[in-house]
């Protein structure tokens, strides 16, 4: 699976070094759980090797709910506080160097209290990844089958090249959401030679948007002075989509990245008469340009621009606002059912990712450093309405096993601007991580 005045924010996380690598290099504590676990004996191909890793983490989050927001019509209960306890476990088992099994599962309990003082508790136990992998002795051929999460995007904040449906890595306001790291049930065949590799994917599709059960993709990748990738994605019963990525190291400190995607269907529906309908037009692009300055002392400065043809134009956004106002006024009329459905659908769109055309992202962090305290501050600005999402994080690694994070977020903008529409005006979260 999104505002015009602003200031800053405070606070975020601690991810700690794996207990498997006592003298490992400093790693980004914001990085995903590795798909391949470190293996101290990888240089010695014995008949049977295994590694396991576990992380137990929990957090408490408090939200400041806006008064008289656009969706505050007394029909939607907004989440005011969150508690989560999760066990994130992974393994890698190999035999003879050609066969291996990689997996990752999670046990998650969420407790949410809404602003009407109702408490809901949910329990999940998703298999995030779990697959069998084979490599030929020459290293030319590789195959995988099972639940896999391929990553095709080079983007820092936006990842449009990850075309598989449904998308689990849209820009998320909750980076502790393990379900966003879930893979797809698929089979992969890869051929490698020199700087080139070509991978083919056949996967299931468990969404409801299209009348389809399967999706397919081909990825052509070249690694070198300029890393580039072409992705062709086809959803059964729908059209073919394309993505292209490129990444280049200009010197020892500056990296430049760009990527673009072209999709036949628009990801956002159009508002009309208290309902949403698909766009009759075809062909929508999403383009990202970004650069990162990596300093020798472990600090990184990142800037990224997104142009999103799927987003609403000024006229389309005005129509959405008009229809939301009409729906609120119709809640006590014979149109109440349609009005409530429209309001709920509009509220759900806030989680779909970028809603407008142009965005700017900036970040400064010292997460590669050996400093006692890690820091990251970022902003995400909607350039069409000047609303802003601010994020500030403080991370402390107390030992090889324990780390903490304090994270704060502020969403600023007018009441009909994207980030100003969010029910939460401020969020503060404290997280604790234990690695074993």
**pLDDT tops 70 at residue 287:** yes
Lowest-confidence pick of 116-120, 373-377, 400-404: 116-120
Stronger pLDDT, 177 or 408, i.e. the higher one: 408
> Percent of the chain scored above 90 by pLDDT?
67
pLDDT over 80 (residue 15): no
- pLDDT at residue number 185: 96
Please count the CA atoms within 13 angstroms of the CA of 436 that sit on its side-chain side.
Answer: 4
Confidence band of 26 (pLDDT split at 50, 70, 90) = very low
Q: Is the pLDDT of residue 164 over 90?
A: yes
CA 178, distance to chain mean position in Å, is 10
Which residues fall within 8 angstroms of residue 159, CB to CB, at 6 or more apart? 151, 153, 169
Identify the sign of the CA torsion 227, 352, 113, 107. negative
Q: What is the pLDDT of residue 25?
A: 41
Helices then strands, counting H and E runs in the chain, come out as: 3, 21
Give the pTM.
0.85
Which residue has 């508790």 as its token pair?
121
Residue 167 binned pLDDT confidence (cut-offs 50, 70, 90): confident
211-232 pLDDT, tens per residue?
Answer: 668 999 999 999 999 999 999 9
Whether omega for the bond prior to residue 166 falls within 30 degrees of 0, making it cis, is yes
Quick check: 14 pLDDT over 80?
A: no
User: What average pLDDT does the structure give for the chain?
Assistant: 86
**pLDDT class for 209, splitting at 50, 70, 90?**
low
pLDDT for res 7 = 29
DSSP 297-349: TS-EEEEEEEEETTS--HHHHHHHHHHHHHHHHTTTSTTHHHHHHHHHHHHHH
- Give percent above pLDDT 70 in the chain: 86
Alpha helices in 194-335 (DSSP H): 314-329
Structure confidence at residue 114 (pLDDT): 87
Q: Is residue 5 over pLDDT 90?
A: no
* DSSP class of 178: G
pLDDT band at 67 (very low <50, low <70, confident <90, very high): confident
What is the rounded CA–CA span in Å between residue 71 and residue 63?
Answer: 16
Q: What is the pLDDT of residues 326-361, one digit of tens each?
A: 998 898 899 999 998 998 898 888 888 899 999 999
Residues 123-141 have a mean pLDDT of 95
260/353 Cα distance (integer angstroms): 16
- The partner residues of 291 in beta bridges, in order of sequence, read 256, 303
Backbone angles phi, psi at 83, to 5 degrees: -135, 140
Give mean pLDDT, residues 290-307: 96
> Lowest-pLDDT range, 44-48, 126-130, 203-207?
44-48
Q: What kind and span of H or E run contains 421?
A: helix 418-421
């Amino acid at each position: 699976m999104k505002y015009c005045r602003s200031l800053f924010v405070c606070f975020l996380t601690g991810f700690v070094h794996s207990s498997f690598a006592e003298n490992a290099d400093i790693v980004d504590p914001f990085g995903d759980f590795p798909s391949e676990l470190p293996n101290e004996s990888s240089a010695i191909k014995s008949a049977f090797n295994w590694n396991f890793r576990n992380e137990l983490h929990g957090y408490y989050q408090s939200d400041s709910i806006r008064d008289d927001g656009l969706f505050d019509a007394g029909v939607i209960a907004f989440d005011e506080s969150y508690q989560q306890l999760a066990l994130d476990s992974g393994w890698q088992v190999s035999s003879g160097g050609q066969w291996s099994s990689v997996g990752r599962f999670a046990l998650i309990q969420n407790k949410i209290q809404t602003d009407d003082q109702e408490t809901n508790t949910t329990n999940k136990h998703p298999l995030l990844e779990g697959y069998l992998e084979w490599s030929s002795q020459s290293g030319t051929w590789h195959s995988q089958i099972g639940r896999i999460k391929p990553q095709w995007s080079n983007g820092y904040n936006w990842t449009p090249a990850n075309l598989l449906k449904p998308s689990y890595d849209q820009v998320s306001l909750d980076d502790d959401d393990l379900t966003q790291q879930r893979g797809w049930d698929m089979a992969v065949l890869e051929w490698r030679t020199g700087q080139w590799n070509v991978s083919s994917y056949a996967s299931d599709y468990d969404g409801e948007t299209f009348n389809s059960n399967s999706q397919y993709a081909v990825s052509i990748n070249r690694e070198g002075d300029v890393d580039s990738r072409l992705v062709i994605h086809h959803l059964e019963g729908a059209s073919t989509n394309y993505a292209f990525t490129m990444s280049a190291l200009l010197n020892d400190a500056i990296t430049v990245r760009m990527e673009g995607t072209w999709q036949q269907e628009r990801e956002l529906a159009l508002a009309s008469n208290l309902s949403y309908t698909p766009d009759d037009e075809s062909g929508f692009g999403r383009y990202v340009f970004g650069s990162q300055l990596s300093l020798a002392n472990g600090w990184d400065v990142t800037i990224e621009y997104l142009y999103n043809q799927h987003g609403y134009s000024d006229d389309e956004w005005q129509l959405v606002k008009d229809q939301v106002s009409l729906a609120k006024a119709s809640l006590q009329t014979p149109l109440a059912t349609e009005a409530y459905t429209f309001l709920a659908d509009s509220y759900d769109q806030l989680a779909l990712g970028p809603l407008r055309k142009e965005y700017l992202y900036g970040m400064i962090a010292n997460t590669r450093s050996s400093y006692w305290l890690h820091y990251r501050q970022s902003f995400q600005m909607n350039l069409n309405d000047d609303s802003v999402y601010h994020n500030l994080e403080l991370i402390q690694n107390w030992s090889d096993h324990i780390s903490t994070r304090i994270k704060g977020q502020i969403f600023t903008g007018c009441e009909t601007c994207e980030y100003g529409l969010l029910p939460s005006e401020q969020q503060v979260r404290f997280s604790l991580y234990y690695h074993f």
